[in-house]
């Protein structure tokens, strides 16, 4: 299987598939994003550990730079709904910027 051409998409969604996030349901989160990504013109990429395990499952949306914790399929649906409206900063589980 070849890698997706990420340049064709407006966004990249990294879904952590590290061990701890997987144990907390990241596989279902990945499946939910794969079903809905087209709605926000995103390519979904499996990520290794993003070093915020205690907040997992973790997702990052670029170029918005939205880091999202505690993700579930239901939260993915809400994130896509808000993202389509341009409200990435209101998505459920938004992790405040780490300075």
Residue 31's alpha-carbon distances to 17, 77, 85, in angstroms, are: 11, 11, 22
* Residue 45, beta-bridge partner list: 14
* CB nearer to ligand FES: pick between 15 and 82: 15
Contacts of ligand FES in 11-70 (CB under 6 A): 16, 18-21, 49-53, 56, 58
Q: Measured from the CB of residue 34, what is the shortest distance to ligand FES in angstroms?
A: 17
- CA-CA distance, 46 to 13, in Å (whole number)? 8
What are the residues binding ligand FES (CB under 6 A)?
Answer: 16, 18-21, 49-53, 56, 58
């Amino acid at each position: 299987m070849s890698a997706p051409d990420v340049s064709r998409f407006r966004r990249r969604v990294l879904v952590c598939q590290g061990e701890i996030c997987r144990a907390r349901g990241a596989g279902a989160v990945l499946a939910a994003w794969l079903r809905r990504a087209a709605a926000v013109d995103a390519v979904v990429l499996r990520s290794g550990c993003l070093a915020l395990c205690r907040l997992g499952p973790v997702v990052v949306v670029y170029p918005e730079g939205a880091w999202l914790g505690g993700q579930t399929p239901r939260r993915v649906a809400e994130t896509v709904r808000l993202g389509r409206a341009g409200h990435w900063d209101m998505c459920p589980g938004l992790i405040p910027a780490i300075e």
